[in-house]
Amino acid sequence: MTTGEQRFAQQEFAGMPPRLFRASPSRLHAWLDCPRRYRMQYLDRPSPPARPQRAHTSFGVAVHNALRDWWDLPPGQRTAAAGAELVRSSWIDVGFRDAEQSLQWRGRAQQHVTDYLGQLDPARQPLGIERTVSLKTERLALQGRIDRLDDRDGELVVVDYKTSRSAPTDDEARTSLPLALYAAAVWKMFRRRCVRVELHHLPTGQVASHEHTGESLKRKIEEAESIARDAQRAEADYADFGVDSGRFPARVGPLCQWCDFRAHCPAGQAAGPEKSGWAALEEDRDDQRAEAVR
């Protein structure tokens, strides 16, 4: 056991309050996805340079920014056409194969946003837009940002926008750790019950949802604390050994082809060729080609 781990274990054995682990839901997920990527992203200093942003990220950011800025407009100006203009003005032309592909996907983003906004009541102001929330437990100091927080006749609802190709399911809403932690944080901050979480899929207009209970939120918090404990123990080892710590193995799998840090990870490079910057936009076409070959 290393010095850092000994200090960590001694605190727990002596019944001392552990140092709070400060994290966001995305940081906790990064640890679960791959400890090696977690180390490079959050611990190594200077952090290894990440690859340039991919096209699907540019697409998603533009959509999220437009939906955020739309609510800053005066109610009378909150039209679907205004949403399309916000997409155009916030468009990020990064990661695409060429200008033609970028223009094509900008048009799709504008269509998704106008279709979605056409279903909303512009006068019904959400309680929060990209609202930062926080939650403290005996082990964890969590902070994250909610896409939208609705107050629907006294019921607080956590809304998360999705722009992926596949529509999320109710089961994904149920099992989502970030959504549950956001709901728990909202409940504590506003001192009002918050159990409903929703995934709003812009490409299809579908909504996946789940109604938590106080008990199910408690289980999600315990899950987050367990992840935090493992990451905190690994970080204690990193404090002694740095990049030579053995607690940050590469979790090799399909995600390696998409990893922003694969250029610095031989194990990830061996998992298969890197996906192009626009691969997530072209998967349907690639699937069709593969089917034709078969």
pLDDT of residue 118: 96
Whether 147 is covered by a domain: the verdict is yes
Residues linked to residue 208 through DSSP beta bridges, in sequence order:
199
Which residue intervals of 140-257 are DSSP H helices? 170-175, 177-190, 214-241
Element (H, E) at 144: strand 140-152
The stretch 270-288 carries a mean pLDDT of 78
pLDDT of residue 276: 95
The stretch 61-66 carries a mean pLDDT of 98
Which stretch of 10-19, 60-69, 94-103, 209-218 has the lowest confidence by average pLDDT?
10-19
pLDDT of residue 293: 27
pLDDT band at 285 (very low <50, low <70, confident <90, very high): very low
Tell whether the model's pLDDT for residue 57 goes beyond 60: yes
CA distances from 239 to 17, 59, 69, 130, 246 (A): 20, 38, 41, 34, 12
Residue ranges making up the domain that contains 181: 128-221
Whether 169 is covered by a domain: the verdict is yes
The span from the CA of 137 to the CA of 218, in Å, is 11
pLDDT band at 175 (very low <50, low <70, confident <90, very high): very high
Whether 190 is covered by a domain: the verdict is yes
pLDDT of residue 288: 31
The stretch 96-118 carries a mean pLDDT of 98
Element (H, E) at 134: strand 128-136
pLDDT band at 35 (very low <50, low <70, confident <90, very high): very high
Whether 227 is covered by a domain: the verdict is no
Sign of the alpha-carbon dihedral angle for 238, 243, 247, 248: positive
Give per-residue pLDDT as tens, 150-161.
Answer: 999 999 999 999
pLDDT of residue 282: 81
Tell whether the model's pLDDT for residue 10 goes beyond 90: no
The span from the CA of 81 to the CA of 87, in Å, is 10
pLDDT of residue 19: 87
**Cβ pair 160, 199 in contact under 8 A:** yes
Whether 95 is covered by a domain: the verdict is no
More confident: 284 or 53: 53
Whether 21 is covered by a domain: the verdict is no
pLDDT of residue 108: 97
Whether 24 is covered by a domain: the verdict is no
Give per-residue pLDDT as tens, 128-156.
Answer: 999 999 999 999 999 999 999 999 999 99
Tell whether the model's pLDDT for residue 287 goes beyond 70: no
Residues linked to residue 229 through DSSP beta bridges, in sequence order:
none
What CATH number does the domain containing 174 carry? 3.90.320.10
Give per-residue pLDDT as tens, 182-194.
Answer: 999 999 999 999 9
Whether 262 is covered by a domain: the verdict is no
Residue with token string 């223009």: 103
Total domains present in the chain: 1
More confident: 292 or 262: 262
The stretch 112-122 carries a mean pLDDT of 97
